[in-house]
Amino acid sequence: MAVAHGLCSGMGGMRTTGDLVCRMQFAKSMKIADAKKYVADKLEIDPFQLTEENYVRDIREQLGMGVVTGQPNTPKGMPAKMNIEKVLGIEISSCEHFRQQVLRN
């Protein structure tokens, strides 16, 4: 059922920019239209293109935000999230914790 929702109504997560738009809903409590516009402006694309898989896949790779396929030599996990912080201008708690641990050592 959840997968059906994802296909029928969802933004597509890392296949597109669903995770980025969701970051803004959480970080700034933005409603969907505002969150889409914010992310589109940061990526310098039209909001309509946020869910065009092939188009945004290259943007994700260029900006180091992680791609959904197993692409060698691209940021994954924490490094990708740190790049997302920079692109969107937000702070992610897990990234901050990671930075504190690195600095502590």
Interacting residue with another protein among 44, 78, 102, 105 (CB under 8 A): 78
Q: Which of residues 19-58 bind another protein (CB under 8 A)?
A: 19, 21-23, 25-27, 29-32, 35, 47-48, 51
Q: Is 104 in the site for another protein (CB under 8 A)?
A: no
Q: Which residues contact 62 (CB under 8 A, 6 or more apart)?
A: none
- The Cβ of residue 84 has, within 10 Å, a number of other Cβ atoms equal to 22
| Nearest-approach distance from CB 41 to another protein, in angstroms | 16
Compute φ and ψ for 68, nearest 5 degrees: -75, -20
C-alpha distances out from residue 96 to 39, 43, 76, 81, Å: 21, 23, 17, 11
Residues that bind another protein (CB under 8 A): 1-16, 18-19, 21-23, 25-27, 29-32, 35, 47-48, 51, 65-66, 68, 76-78, 80-81, 84, 90-98
